[in-house]
Amino acid sequence: MGIPCFYSYIVKNHGSIIKTLKNVPCDNLYIDGNSIIYDSYNDLEPSENFEDELIQQIIMRLNALINKVHPRSRCYIAFDGVAPLAKMKQQRVRRFKSEYERDIRSGLGLSNPTKWNTNAITPGTLFMKKLSDNLKDYYIESSHIVVSSSEQPGEGEHKIFALVRNNIDYHLKTITCIYGLDADLIMLSLNHSQNCDHIVLYRETPQFIKQIDSSLDPAKDYVLDIKHLGKAIGDDFGDVDRISDYVFMCFILGNDFIPHTPSINIRTNGINVLMAVYNDIIVRQKRYLIRDGTIHWGNFKLFIEGLKQDELSRIKEEYSKRRNYKLNKTSLDDKVLFLPLLDKREEQMINPYESFWQDRYYNHLNDIDRNNDNVLKTLCINYLEGLEWTMCYYTHGCNNWYWKYNYLYAPLLSDLYRFIPSFNITLVSNNIKLPVSPYTQLAYVLPRSSHHLIPEKIRTYLDTNYRHYYDSGVIKWAFFKYFWESVVQFDQLNIEQFNIEINNKII
Q: Which tens digits make up the pLDDT trace of 406-440?
A: 999 999 999 999 999 999 999 998 887 899 999 99
Q: How far apart (Å, rounded) are the C-alpha atoms in residues 204 and 221?
A: 7
Q: Considering only residues 330 and 119, tell me which one the structure prediction assigns the higher pLDDT.
A: 119
In 10 A of CB 358, how many CB atoms? 17
Among 114-118, 214-218, 392-396, 401-405, the least confident range: 214-218
The pLDDT score that the predictor gives to residue 89 is: 97
- What is d(CA 139, CA 142) in angstroms, rounded to the nearest whole number? 5
pLDDT surpasses 60 at 1: no
- C-alpha–C-alpha distance, residues 448 and 130, integer Å: 23
Q: How far is residue 46 from each of residues 35, 42, 131, 158, 202, measured CA to CA in Å? A: 20, 10, 18, 32, 29
pLDDT band at 208 (very low <50, low <70, confident <90, very high): low
pLDDT score for 268: 83
Residue 471: is its pLDDT beyond 60? Answer: yes
pLDDT recorded at residue 4? 54
| pLDDT score for 108 | 82
pTM of the model: 0.94
Residue environment code for 231-243, b if the CB has 16+ CB neighbours within 10 A, otherwise e: bbbbebbeeeebb
**For residue 207, what pLDDT is reported?**
54
Mean pLDDT is lowest, of 112-116, 343-347, 422-426, for 112-116
Is the predicted pLDDT of residue 63 greater than 90, yes or no?
yes
What pLDDT was estimated at residue 2?
52
**What is the spatial distance between Cα 459 and Cα 354, in angstroms, rounded to a whole number?**
49
Q: Which are the contacts of 421, defined by CB distance < 8 A and separation ≥ 6?
A: 297, 298, 301
DSSP 117-140: -GGGSSTTSHHHHHHHHHHHHHTT
pLDDT at residue 278, rounded to an integer: 97
C-alpha Rg value of the chain to the nearest Å: 23
Confidence check: pLDDT of 239 > 80: no
Q: What angle do CA 468, 473, 475 make, to 5 degrees?
A: 165
Res 141: pLDDT: 85
Which range has the worst mean pLDDT, 21-25, 206-210, 370-374? Answer: 206-210
Tell me: the pLDDT tens digits for 270-324? 999 999 999 999 999 999 999 988 999 999 999 999 999 999 999 999 999 888 8
pLDDT of amino acid 209: 64
Q: Tell me what the pLDDT averaged over the chain comes to.
A: 92
pLDDT tens figures, 489-502: 999 899 999 999 99
d(CA 507, CA 74): 39
Contacts 24+ apart (CB under 8 A), 451-457: 453/117, 453/119, 453/120, 453/122, 453/125, 453/126, 454/124, 455/505, 455/506, 457/505, 457/506
What single DSSP character describes residue 264?
A: -
How high is the pLDDT of residue 483? 92
At residue 212, the pLDDT reads 61
Mean pLDDT of 39-50: 93
Q: What angle do CA 497, 499, 500 make, to 5 degrees?
A: 65
Task: Catalogue all structural domains in the chain, each as residue range(s) with its CATH number.
Answer: 3-83+123-237 (3.40.50.12390), 85-121+326-507 (no CATH)
Residue 206 has pLDDT above 70, yes or no: no
**What is the Cα–Cα distance from 91 to 89, expressed in whole angstroms?**
5
- Helix/strand/coil percentages in the chain, nearest 5: 55, 10, 35
Closest to 181 (Cα-Cα) out of 401, 3, 447:
3
